[in-house]
């Protein structure tokens, strides 16, 4: 670890404001070295945080945080912010259960006024804070920091449309990947320099004041001059989207030049109305591998990456199937590479659409594609599908359209925490009529599910984890290599005293629990469910593989209330003369967010030991009765 003599003097933004301006470049270098050292070990979002070092320093020096609030969109670029606000010691446990969050969290610090994790929410939240301040008569500022990618989300534009002139709101648009503004080149830079100068702002303010105070004609002249100025500016360098919405626009400025950023933020602070400050930063700044390949260093994971994942298998299958069927199209919401669609996009660019960070649009757009005669596959992370619930319900299911919803990152997200846990999709999809829901957990069963459902006339949802397959699961449930329907499989253990019924990645822990129980002389069987809905059909298949009277423990890496286990437990009771004793081991009524460092599965009692204990507890209860 490199020495950090300047950073060592900072435990809060108050300390930062005491640092002489001439030391800021050296401090920025120390911060970059600190982040590279820590994040390459723990994993996390590296490139984006290296890009916002100067911007974050300027924000905390210009604004009086925490009284003035900083709201980071998504929050994955808040590592520098955390470092400057007393959380340096937490970086050794960054993105671990109960450790330092990879996003902003209200309970973590007073400097995190609004939690994040999903995109495009910051401006809406900032508007709420700014309006509350106005109503309470408070004089503090609210600053939303948002990347250009988030501007593809519809909430951003809904919020911009709601901005009012009387709010002390500043929006910092961090452009680090794609160009949004047409104000590029020498003229834009020249205008930005003029607009950021104190002389320009003073002259503009004083001239406006003089004109408005001319008796009778003053206000008319003032508005006429403003109109002429706007017309000339539009003629010179086109209309500005943000100013058309009523925001005062500052920029673009070099977001990695501390002096430029500080001047721009100071200009915004003095304006007295909602302002958008447009900065341009370089992802991975100061770390050559990340600068040259920011996509790979956007989020790095600790340890080895699986050689092959479910996302890869899906992408390969879809590309092969695309060769056969010209009606197949792929849709994603800014997650094409992460969900395995890169091969399909390269082979069929005209049949591939990345809608940006707009999950609800992705699903409804796919519904339109299906209604138009195509066969759409829309890929989305489990946690982001929550945003498209209404689109799935009304636009796809109600109209019985053949949209295939491919749900990646299903299950607990141990590194990213509660905002990214994929633990709700089964519960909320289970209550949508006429949708089929699958959870394949081997590579070939995923392909078998895709083959079995490709001609379905209605909606299908297929979920799987962000991992490779477990060879023990493959050998246990597919010993002969025969895949396909039925998608409910038993390990064929003879004369079990209890049965564990489960689905998804947690089946690996169930099999380990079976071995732990075997060591104690307790024989249990495990049933793997890879087709959840329709539940009546699945319950019948499960019942056919369980002897009468044998107790059942359901294990689910999903929310308890309304989850698959609760539904299957109810349905199974109809298939036995005497319903068997049952237990459900699932995630309780909370967000699976521990307050102190721990093993997440162990904390939830969903690890092998927890499952084994649940089985023995149920057997002991039966014996006592």
Is the pLDDT at 186 greater than 50? The verdict is no
Quick check: 53 and 174 in contact, CB under 8 A?
no
Distance (Å, whole) CA 509 – CA 159 = 44
> In terms of domains, do 492 and 601 share one?
yes
Task: Kindly list the distances between the CA atom of residue 437 and the CA atoms of 432, 534, 562, in Å, as whole numbers in the listed order.
Answer: 10, 7, 14
Q: Within a domain: residue 221?
A: no
> In terms of domains, do 384 and 448 share one?
yes
> In terms of domains, do 388 and 513 share one?
no
CATH of the domain at 249: 3.40.50.970
> In terms of domains, do 284 and 314 share one?
no
- DSSP label of 578: S
- DSSP label of 9: G
- % of the chain with per-residue pLDDT over 90: 73
Active-site annotation holder among 54, 359, 360, 556: 359
Quick check: 98 and 417 in contact, CB under 8 A?
no
Q: Within a domain: residue 300?
A: no
For the CA atoms of 428, 430, 434, 438, the dihedral, rounded to the nearest 10 degrees, stands at: 110
Strand order in the sheet with 69-72: 69-72, 142-147, 169-175, 275-280, 248-254
> In terms of domains, do 506 and 382 share one?
no
Q: For the purposes of burial, counting CB atoms within 10 Å of the CB of 348, is it exposed (0-12), middle (13-18) or buried (19 or more)?
A: middle
Strands 524-529 and 460-463: unpaired
Q: Which of 605, 601, 603, 599 is nearest to 617 (CA)?
A: 605
Its pTM surpasses 0.75? yes
At residue 378, the pLDDT reads 98
Average pLDDT over residues 180-207: 47
Which helix (DSSP H) or strand (DSSP E) does residue 483 occupy? Answer: none
Distance (Å, whole) CA 315 – CA 326 = 16
CATH of the domain at 605: 3.40.50.920
Last residue of a domain, one of 249, 266, 292: 292
pLDDT tens-digit series, residues 392-419: 999 999 999 999 999 999 999 988 888 8
> In terms of domains, do 421 and 524 share one?
no
Distance (Å, whole) CA 274 – CA 130 = 10
Quick check: 367 and 401 in contact, CB under 8 A?
yes
> In terms of domains, do 250 and 328 share one?
no
Average pLDDT over residues 56-67: 96
Active-site annotation holder among 168, 283, 285, 436: 283
Which residues sit opposite 354 in a β-bridge? 332
Is the pLDDT at 312 greater than 50? The verdict is yes
Quick check: 311 and 342 in contact, CB under 8 A?
no
Is the pLDDT at 11 greater than 70? The verdict is yes
Active-site annotation holder among 387, 436, 463, 533: 387
Distance (Å, whole) CA 88 – CA 325 = 54
Tokens describing residue 87: 């959380």
- DSSP label of 433: T
**Distance in angstroms between the alpha carbons of the first and the last residue of the chain:** 61
> In terms of domains, do 117 and 88 share one?
yes
Is the pLDDT at 301 greater than 70? The verdict is yes
CA 563 to chain centre: 22
Identify whether 199 is a catalytic site residue.
no
The beta strand positions in 322-471, using DSSP E, are 328-332, 352-354, 375-381, 404-408, 436-438, 460-463
Q: Which of 517, 454, 514, 452 is nearest to 487 (CA)?
A: 452
Identify whether 624 is a catalytic site residue.
no
Angle, CA 333 vertex, CA 412 and CA 507 arms, to 5°: 25
Non-local CB neighbours of 41 within 8 Å, separated by 6+ positions: 302
Other residues' Cβ atoms within 10 Å of the Cβ of residue 332: 26
Distance (Å, whole) CA 294 – CA 558 = 33
Non-local CB neighbours of 412 within 8 Å, separated by 6+ positions: 421, 422, 423, 557, 592, 600, 601, 604
At residue 236, the pLDDT reads 37
Non-local CB neighbours of 227 within 8 Å, separated by 6+ positions: none
Q: For the purposes of burial, counting CB atoms within 10 Å of the CB of 98, is it exposed (0-12), middle (13-18) or buried (19 or more)?
A: middle
> In terms of domains, do 547 and 409 share one?
no
Per-residue pLDDT band at 207 (split at 50, 70, 90):
low
Last residue of a domain, one of 463, 480, 496: 463
Q: Within a domain: residue 222?
A: no
Among the ranges given (291-300, 488-497, 567-576), the one the predictor scored with the smallest mean pLDDT:
291-300
Q: Within a domain: residue 226?
A: no
Q: Within a domain: residue 106?
A: yes
Q: Which residue has the tokens 């989207």?
A: 241
Distance (Å, whole) CA 188 – CA 167 = 27
Per-residue pLDDT band at 519 (split at 50, 70, 90):
very high
Is the pLDDT at 218 greater than 70? The verdict is no
Q: Within a domain: residue 417?
A: yes
pLDDT tens-digit series, residues 84-131: 999 999 999 999 999 999 899 999 999 999 998 889 999 999 999 999
Other residues' Cβ atoms within 10 Å of the Cβ of residue 204: 13
pLDDT tens-digit series, residues 535-558: 999 999 999 999 888 999 999 999
Distance (Å, whole) CA 446 – CA 464 = 8
Is the pLDDT at 231 greater than 90? The verdict is no
At residue 558, the pLDDT reads 96
- DSSP label of 574: G
Average pLDDT over residues 187-197: 47
Tokens describing residue 411: 């299950």
Q: Which residue has the tokens 């969109």?
A: 73
Strands 142-147 and 169-175: parallel
> In terms of domains, do 280 and 366 share one?
no
Give backbone dihedrals phi and psi of 184, rounded to 5 degrees, phi first: -115, 140
What's the number of domains the chain is made of? Answer: 3
> In terms of domains, do 32 and 167 share one?
yes
Q: Within a domain: residue 231?
A: no
Is the pLDDT at 183 greater than 80? The verdict is no
If you count DSSP H runs as helices and E runs as strands, how many of each does the chain have, helices first?
A: 26, 17
Q: Which of 116, 177, 125 is nearest to 149 (CA)?
A: 177
Distance (Å, whole) CA 75 – CA 52 = 12
DSSP H helices, 293-424, are 310-324, 342-347, 359-371, 382-385, 389-390
Tokens describing residue 307: 């050689």
pLDDT tens-digit series, residues 126-170: 999 999 999 999 999 999 999 988 888 889 999 998 888 889 999
Last residue of a domain, one of 262, 292, 322: 292
- 352: domain range? 310-463
Q: Which of 540, 617, 558 is nearest to 583 (CA)?
A: 617
Tokens describing residue 167: 């709010």
At residue 579, the pLDDT reads 87
In angstroms, how far apart are the furthest CA atoms of the chain?
Answer: 98
Q: Which of 249, 266, 230 is nearest to 192 (CA)?
A: 249
Distance (Å, whole) CA 284 – CA 287 = 6
Q: Within a domain: residue 302?
A: no
Distance (Å, whole) CA 98 – CA 96 = 6
> In terms of domains, do 245 and 392 share one?
no
Identify whether 9 is a catalytic site residue.
no
pLDDT tens-digit series, residues 320-370: 999 999 999 999 999 999 999 999 999 999 999 999 999 999 999 999 999
């Amino acid at each position: 670890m490199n020495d950090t003599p300047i950073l060592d003097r900072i435990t809060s933004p108050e300390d930062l404001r005491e640092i002489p301006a001439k030391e800021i470049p050296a401090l920025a270098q120390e911060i970059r070295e600190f982040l590279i050292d820590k994040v390459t070990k723990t994993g996390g979002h590296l490139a984006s945080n290296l890009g916002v070092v100067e911007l974050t320093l300027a924000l905390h020096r210009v604004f009086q945080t925490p009284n003035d609030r900083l709201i980071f969109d998504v929050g994955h670029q808040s590592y520098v912010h955390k470092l400057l606000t007393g959380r340096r010691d937490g970086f050794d446990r960054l993105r671990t259960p109960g450790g330092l969050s990879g996003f902003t969290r209200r309970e973590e610090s007073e400097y995190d006024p609004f939690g994040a994790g999903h995109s495009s929410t910051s401006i809406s939240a900032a508007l709420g804070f700014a309006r509350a301040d106005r109503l309470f008569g408070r004089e503090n500022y609210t600053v939303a920091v948002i990347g250009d990618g988030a501007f593809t989300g519809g909430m951003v534009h809904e919020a911009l449309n709601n901005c009012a002139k009387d709010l002390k709101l500043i929006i910092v648009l961090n452009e680090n990947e794609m160009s949004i503004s047409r104000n590029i080149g020498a003229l834009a830079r020249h205008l930005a320099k003029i607009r950021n100068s104190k002389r320009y702002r003073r002259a503009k303010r004083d001239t406006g004041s003089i004109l408005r105070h001319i008796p009778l004609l003053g206000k008319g002249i003032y508005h006429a001059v403003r109109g002429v100025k706007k017309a000339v500016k539009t003629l010179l360098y086109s209309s500005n989207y943000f100013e058309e919405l009523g925001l005062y626009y500052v920029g673009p400025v070099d977001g990695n030049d501390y002096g430029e950023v500080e001047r721009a933020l100071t200009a915004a602070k003095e304006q007295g109305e909602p302002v958008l400050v447009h900065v341009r930063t370089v992802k991975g700044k100061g770390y050559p591998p990340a600068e040259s390949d920011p996509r790979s260093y956007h989020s790095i994971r600790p340890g080895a990456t699986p050689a092959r994942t479910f996302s890869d298998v899906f992408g390969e299958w879809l590309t092969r199937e695309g060769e056969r069927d010209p009606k197949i199209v792929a849709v994603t919401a800014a997650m094409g590479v992460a969900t395995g669609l890169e091969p399909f996009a390269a082979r069929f660019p005209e049949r591939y659409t990345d809608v940006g960070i707009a999950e609800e649009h992705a699903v409804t757009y796919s519904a339109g594609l299906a209604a138009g005669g195509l066969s759409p596959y829309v890929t989305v992370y489990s946690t982001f599908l929550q945003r498209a619930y209404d689109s799935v319900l009304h636009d796809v299911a109600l109209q019985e359209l053949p949209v295939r919803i491919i749900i990646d990152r299903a299950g607990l997200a141990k590194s990213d925490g509660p905002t990214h846990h994929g633990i709700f999709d089964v519960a909320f999809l289970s209550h949508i009529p006429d949708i089929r829901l699958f959870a394949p957990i081997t590579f070939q069963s995923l392909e078998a599910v895709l083959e079995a459902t490709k001609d379905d006339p209605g909606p299908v949802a297929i979920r799987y984890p962000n991992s490779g397959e477990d060879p023990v699961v493959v050998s246990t449930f597919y010993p002969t290599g025969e895949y396909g329907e039925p998608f409910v499989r038993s390990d064929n253990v003879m004369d079990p005293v209890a049965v564990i019924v489960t689905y998804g990645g947690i089946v690996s822990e169930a099999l380990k629990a079976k071995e732990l129980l075997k060591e104690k002389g307790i024989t249990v069987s495990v049933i793997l469910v890879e087709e959840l809905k329709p539940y009546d059909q699945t319950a019948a298949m499960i019942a056919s593989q369980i002897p009468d009277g044998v107790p059942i423990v359901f294990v689910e890496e999903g929310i308890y209330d309304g989850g698959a286990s609760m539904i299957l437990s109810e349905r199974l009771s109809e298939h036995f003369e005497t319903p068997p004793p049952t237990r459900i081991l699932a995630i309780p009524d909370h967000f699976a967010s521990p307050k102190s460092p721990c093993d997440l599965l162990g904390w939830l009692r969903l690890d092998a030991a927890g499952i084994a204990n649940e089985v023995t507890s149920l057997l002991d209860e039966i014996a006592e009765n």
